[in-house]
Amino acid sequence: MRHLALPLSLFTVLLLAGCGQTDAPANEAQVAPEVGYITVEARPFTLVNELPGRTAPYQVAEVRPQVTGLLVKRLFQEGEAVVTGQPLYQIDDRLYKAALASAQAELASARASLETARLKAERYERLINTGAISQQDLDQARATLHESEALVDAARAAVQTATINLEYTTITAPIAGRIGRSSVTAGALVTANQASALVTIRQLDPIYVDVTQSYNDLQELRSAMAAGQLQTVGEDQAAATLVYQSGESYGHSGTLQFSEFAVDETTGSVTLRALFPNPDDALLPGMFVRARLPQAERESAILVPQKGISRDPDGQAAALVISDEGTVEKRRVIAERVVESQWLIREGLANGDRLIVEGLQKIRVGIPVRAVNVGTPEVSASSSLVAEG
């Protein structure tokens, strides 16, 4: 009996060990995998397109002389701020002063002749009734009076012209702004309305930002508005913002001024122009920037993280959600566009759906899962999200 007990005990231990090895995988298979999900929330959404653009001055004036003469003095410092009417150059004005004096003398002579003709005409008007003069003499006196009046008007116009030309010898700033580099120095001979500008003035506050948007994107936007999927942005929300090439935000907001009514034949894009304040001259003409322009809004939009949306082999977007029974359910969705780090979903997901965003590699459709809430979709605090343009 002692010899039989030892093999029987050993057999029992091996049998129990074998049973333990068989049951372990079965128990592990019964444990549902853990996944992280977010709760889909529908919320107001403003479509803000971020578009490339360049700055352009609000006004540009190329200063040219309007009279011919020798430049005797430059009256400004290059690069400084100038105001409207500020003297910039002085042309030798001696000849123009003489021309004005001559015109004034011609006017005085014409006025004297006019007084003589007026007195003669008045005298003839009194004498015509006495028969002392003929009607022809009276008519001649009247014609001479009218001629003298015309000569006075011509002489007055000549004085005005000479005065204007004399004023033009001092070249002034036509607009306020920043003045550039002078192309001439004292001693240069300048001519009236010459082709080359003496200097250029640019008004930089405010400043324009010209951006371009694909015409196809613009048409899609208009179609969505026509279908009622999007609404026009209200005036109080239509402020545009700027981002430097470095990614830093510009400190002032602007407004959209107009949209071009022509499509560029080479790029297929439309030009939009926004106006921004520039009190510190932080923006200079020709800078590359990115403008964020609010273009439409949606009262109830679904935005989800990009990691929660995958693509089928046929390219169809799909999402995995947790059903009411706690199992994995596959949804086909229509992902409209990328908005920052999220997808804007047009169809396929609804408010309250539990979208799986973590643990996607260890699950398959139909199996039960242990759901862990990992938060809500990341959204901008202002509810205005940026779509790359």
Structurally, how many domains does the chain consist of? Answer: 4
Least confident of 73-87, 107-121, 312-326: 312-326
Is the predicted pLDDT of residue 305 greater than 80, yes or no?
Answer: yes
Is the predicted pLDDT of residue 316 greater than 70, yes or no?
Answer: yes
Q: What is the pLDDT of residues 270-291, one digit of tens each?
A: 888 889 999 988 999 999 999 8
> pLDDT value at position 192?
93
CB crowding 120-153: b at 16 or more within 10 Å, else e: bbeebeeebeeeebeeeebeebeebbeebbebbe
User: Which residues span the domain enclosing 340?
Assistant: 34-45+300-379
Q: What is the pLDDT of residues 25-43, one digit of tens each?
A: 444 446 889 999 999 998 8
> pLDDT value at position 214?
83
Same domain, 270 and 322: no
What CATH number is given to the structural domain containing 264?
2.40.30.170
The CA angle 64-69-74, to the nearest 5 degrees, is 60
- Beta carbons of 254 and 240 less than 8 angstroms apart: yes
Last residue of a domain, one of 297, 329, 351: 297
Residue 114 within any structural domain of the chain: yes
Same domain, 101 and 114: yes
Residue 371 within any structural domain of the chain: yes
Same domain, 164 and 225: no
Last residue of a domain, one of 250, 275, 297: 297
CA-based nearest residue to 346, from 334, 357, 356, 363: 334
What CATH number is given to the structural domain containing 347?
2.40.420.20
- Beta carbons of 38 and 355 less than 8 angstroms apart: yes
Same domain, 335 and 374: yes
Residue 389 within any structural domain of the chain: no
Same domain, 186 and 224: no
Last residue of a domain, one of 168, 184, 216: 168
Residue 202 within any structural domain of the chain: no
Query: Which two three-digit tokens encode residue 160?
Result: 């005005």
Cα–Cα distance between 334 and 118 in angstroms, integer? 93
CA-based nearest residue to 213, from 285, 249, 264, 247: 264
Least confident of 89-93, 197-201, 221-225: 221-225
DSSP label at 381?
Answer: T
Same domain, 179 and 114: no
Question: CA-CA distances (angstroms) from residue 84 to 91, 175, 179?
Answer: 19, 5, 11
Is the predicted pLDDT of residue 246 greater than 70, yes or no?
Answer: yes
Residue 274 within any structural domain of the chain: yes
